[in-house]
Amino acid sequence: MRIAVLGSGSWGSALAKVVSDNGHDVRLWGRRPELAAQIRETRENATFLPGARFGATLRATALLDEALDGAEMVVMAVPTHGIRETLRQCAHDIPRNAPVVSATKGIEQDTLFFVNEMLASEVPSTRDTFVALSGPSFAREVAAGLPTVVVAASRDLALAREVQRAFWCDNLFRVYLSDDVVGVEVGGALKNVIAIAAGASDGLGFGHNARAALITRGLAEIARLAMKMGGDALTLAGLAGMGDLVLTCTGDLSRNRTVGFELGRGRTLDDILGGMRQVAEGVRTTKSAHDLARREGVYMPIIEQVHATLYEGKELRRAVHELMTREAGHERD
């Protein structure tokens, strides 16, 4: 089939390579004409995914209408803060019945919308065609052909199966199905915030015990919010929850963990972000998650302290002290 992949960063490029290598006709869109030209000429995204070679079935373009022309599936891999603008530019070009797959993990800051809500508000027809693709998946490893397992979630499992078939590649890329869009999106977005906390803990030299505690208690916070919003707690025990959380909190390729680690070593947030070529979604998501927790009345102390550190100037060790000296309760509360 013809598949449009919107977003030519590392993740969009990796996913475009997967479906292209599976034999599909792929159009990879990015905002920068010079990057699209470089990909066409060299068959490689040397800026964001160096070393990964694209096959002949992939074509890069900086024109949205060209990318979407005749598309039978649309994959959104644009950073969260750029999705709405992109949708407003191409709303009339998105094919009405094509599955629209979100590979973006985040929450819009002002509206506190997840990606499915942003899509529905700008392109109402996507309410019936939305699929969330999530799970433990570093772009560099996906592009290198290392075994990766993810989940495709849709309220219509027939659509999720279409996505499963498009991306499935024996021994390389395995896709499970889910009907819990809420749980998958909440898990994918909030794990980035917990990864900042885990990275900060490592940067402070707190060791493996502290990291494991942050992962476990972070998962509890994510599950509380997901359930409050109608998600299934079991989803958070799966690929889009625990799987993605462990990867992002422990993997050296994690941009969000890197932000936290460098904070723990004493660098300022502005300095860290100024030296990063790609987006660390967790920084923006921290504010959205904090505001969403307040709106929903969900107790999320780790996210509260990450927010205070990033946005209120709280010293890291003070945040750790406040987390560790809270009144202890029942683990399941």
| Structural domain contains residue 299 | yes
Q: Do 98 and 72 contact (CB within 8 A), yes or no?
A: yes
Is 191 an active-site residue? yes
pTM score, two decimals?
A: 0.95
| CA distance linking residue 15 with residue 22, whole number of Å | 11
The residue among 135, 82, 64, 123 whose CA lies nearest residue 99 is 123
Q: What is the pLDDT of residue 50?
A: 96
| Structural domain contains residue 330 | no
Domain hosting residue 267, numbered range? 182-324
DSSP 169: B
| CA distance linking residue 233 with residue 183, whole number of Å | 7
Kindly report the number of other CB atoms within 10 A of residue 51's CB atom: 10
pLDDT, one tens digit per residue, over 156-200 is 999 999 999 999 999 899 999 999 999 999 999 999 999 999 999
Tokens for 221? 């916070």
- Say yes or no: 255 and 312 in one domain: yes
Q: Do 308 and 319 contact (CB within 8 A), yes or no?
A: yes
Q: What is the pLDDT of residue 176?
A: 98
**Which CATH number is 244's domain given?**
1.10.1040.10
- The confidence band for 85, taking pLDDT boundaries of 50, 70 and 90, is very high
- Say yes or no: 187 and 144 in one domain: no
Tracing tokens 């002290």 back to the chain, one arrives at 321
Kindly report the number of other CB atoms within 10 A of residue 91's CB atom: 14
| Structural domain contains residue 73 | yes
pLDDT, one tens digit per residue, over 259-305 is 999 999 999 999 999 988 777 889 999 999 999 999 999 999 999 99
- SS3 for 123-145, per residue? CHHHHHCEEEEECCCCHHHHHCC
Q: How far apart are the first and last CA of the chain?
A: 48
Q: Which of 17, 105, 191, 228 is catalytic?
A: 191
Name the average pLDDT for the chain: 96
Mean pLDDT of 29-52: 96
| Structural domain contains residue 332 | no
- Say yes or no: 174 and 31 in one domain: yes
Q: What is the pLDDT of residue 328?
A: 84
| Structural domain contains residue 331 | no
SS3 label, residue 109: coil
**Identity of the amino acid at 214:** L
Q: What is the pLDDT of residue 333?
A: 76
Tokens for 101? 């797959």
- Say yes or no: 139 and 247 in one domain: no
| Structural domain contains residue 171 | yes
The residue among 21, 325, 1, 44 whose CA lies nearest residue 169 is 21
- Say yes or no: 270 and 127 in one domain: no
- Say yes or no: 153 and 277 in one domain: no
- Say yes or no: 141 and 26 in one domain: yes
Question: Domain boundary residue among 160, 179, 198?
Answer: 179
- Say yes or no: 130 and 250 in one domain: no
User: What's the structural domain count of the chain?
Assistant: 2
Q: Do 134 and 105 contact (CB within 8 A), yes or no?
A: yes
| Structural domain contains residue 127 | yes
- Say yes or no: 249 and 120 in one domain: no
Q: What is the pLDDT of residue 332?
A: 80
Kindly report the number of other CB atoms within 10 A of residue 227's CB atom: 17
Q: Could you tell me which residues are beta bridge partners of residue 6?
A: 29, 76
| Structural domain contains residue 108 | yes
- Say yes or no: 219 and 134 in one domain: no
| CA distance linking residue 277 with residue 213, whole number of Å | 30
- The confidence band for 312, taking pLDDT boundaries of 50, 70 and 90, is very high
Task: Please say if the pLDDT value at position 241 is more than 90.
Answer: yes
Question: Domain boundary residue among 127, 149, 179?
Answer: 179
DSSP notation for 24-63: -EEEEE-S-HHHHHHHHHHSB-TTTSTTPBP-TTEEEES-
Indicate the pairing of strand 100-102 with strand 73-76: parallel
**Which CATH number is 153's domain given?**
3.40.50.720
Mean pLDDT of 55-75: 97
- Say yes or no: 145 and 216 in one domain: no
pLDDT, one tens digit per residue, over 128-148 is 999 999 999 999 999 999 999
Question: Domain boundary residue among 162, 179, 196?
Answer: 179
Q: What is the pLDDT of residue 76?
A: 98
Q: What is the pLDDT of residue 280?
A: 84
- Say yes or no: 58 and 172 in one domain: yes
